[in-house]
Amino acid sequence: MSNQVRSRRYLVNIDSIATNQLFTDCLIIGAGIAGLRAAIQASENCNVIIVCKTKLQESNTWHAQGGIASVLNKTDSFESHIADTLKTGCGLSDPTVVETVIKQGPELVEQLLKWGTDFDMSENNKIAVTLEGGHAQSRVAHAHGDKTGQVIAQALINKITQNPKIKIIENFYALDLLTNDQNQCLGAIGQCKNSPQIIWAQNTILATGGAGRLYRETTNPEIATGDGIAMAYRAGAVLQDLELIQFHPTTLYIAGASRALITEALRGEGAKLVDAKGKRFMDEYHPDAELAPRDIVSQAILKQMLKTNTTHVYLDVRNFDKKHFAKRFPLINELCESFDIDTSKDLIPVRPSAHYMIGGVKTDLTAKTSIENLYAAGEVASTNLHGANRLASNSLLEGLVFGKIAGQLASQNLTDRIKHPNISYTIPASSKTRLDTEDVTNSLRALMWRNVGITRKNQPLKEASEIINFWQRYVMDKTFESTHSFQCQNMLTVCSLMAQTARKRRESRGVHFRSDYPQRDDKKFQKHITITR
């Protein structure tokens, strides 16, 4: 980590007296499932401002094809869902957190149904559930097949846009959390319509989502650049498990095209993985074959690619009825057709891509961070639910539960004692060469894929840290005005922290695989790795 990052408190010069200011009881940064659910809950007790980087409909939640896992039928049980989550978490999940989230799930999912979420229903007019990898029971609910995230998000958006106590500000790029000398969060500064804007808040909820765009190969939309983690780091929050990022095993691989998720529900309903020779291979790696946890499937695909000297493997869905496939998975069907892939005759080329950030801002069971009046929920948070490997479809559930918890507590913890101090911060002029931040961003994403990807080793991790440190010296010492440049600074910060923590975890556990330390080491590393500024 360069000295420029260590010493940098804010990304921009701040003169609070001369900056446009808004005031609210509760500020929520982010508009995925966690932020939207938090806004609804907080509005019961106070006024809320929710800000988002682009528009309300652009989030990881909106793009989520997979479902939401919960105990929704009589053959399932809380004990089974808890056991599956703990097993997949590889010794790093907190049993109390797991139990809390899973037991609150059914009520909150049914609430989504009442609020207009058009879940796929069974013949007896109950929410239909399917099987996915790592689950012992069918418990994954979908909406419009592979449009689950979009349908849930739209239902929540419909609810908040009708609420006069919630003010929505789109195209607000949150730059930094504002804090005082008492380690209290006072709100945030951002850029709105190319002008600085301060929002003072008694409580702030960070719900900025994930960081998949740190990698060249990812399922995530362009907004997922780890901004919330970088903001929290500069503010002095404790971060946790940043080495743990989940790679989704199956994303469409077409050379020259961006990666697109091929949902796990396909494998849950009978799709098979085959290699370039048409040979099914997953039963060689795990007794659950295609329904093994994601880390195992991703690593198996990589090994099979190496064995066959190919860039990808294939998903075989030719056993599916073509009309049923088009109706059940409309997004994937449309995607395949756009590349002239006839799913009734052709195999779907797939390979793993960065998908979900397990680590993030450390929180407790009440969504509190280490900074007073600052809460975090959703993918930006590290709640100890997922452990070292997220169980499929537990992420929307986590965002729903902790969004409610954060909104409830933040709206009750109101006080007039916090004052809004004048904040003045000036970044010294730099004499160093100015790099092109677009070039740096592209090179950084390629570096992360090569050196801090699915398979890791000490020397490549060390090299990644050194290269990122070099870029930081020429990027973090300057002020910028464009959103892309701010993103580059945040990405450099988070990537540096990820490379550091990946070197520290000298074992293989869950999504973190070290080829130089291929075994799990419970004696030394059955613990969380934390880092703070």
Q: Which residues are catalytic?
A: 294
Phi, psi of 79 (to 5 degrees): -60, -40
Rounded CA-CA distance 442/278 in Å is: 34
Q: Which of 371, 333, 11 is nearest to 187 (CA)?
A: 371
Q: Which of 390, 297, 381, 379 is nearest to 98 (CA)?
A: 390
Q: Which of 114, 150, 113, 116 is nearest to 129 (CA)?
A: 113
Amino acid residing at 270: G
Strand locations in 325-378 (E) = 348-357, 360-362, 374-376
Per the DSSP assignment, residues forming a β-bridge with 119 are 143
Three-class secondary structure of residue 186 per DSSP: strand
Phi, psi of 187 (to 5 degrees): 135, -145
Neighbours of 75 (CB within 10 A): 10
Supply 500's token pair. 């550091």
The number of helices, as runs of H, and strands, as runs of E, in the chain is 15, 23
| Stated length of the chain | 533
- List the Cα angle 508/512/515 in 5-degree steps: 55
Helix 394-412 × helix 95-114 angle, to 10°: 90
Supply 36's token pair. 């939207």
| DSSP designation for 36 | H
SS3 sequence of 108-139: HHHHHHHCCCCECECCCCCECEECCCCCCCCC
CA dist 422 → 14, 200, 399, 429 (Å): 10, 12, 34, 22
Cα 2 to chain centroid, rounded: 26
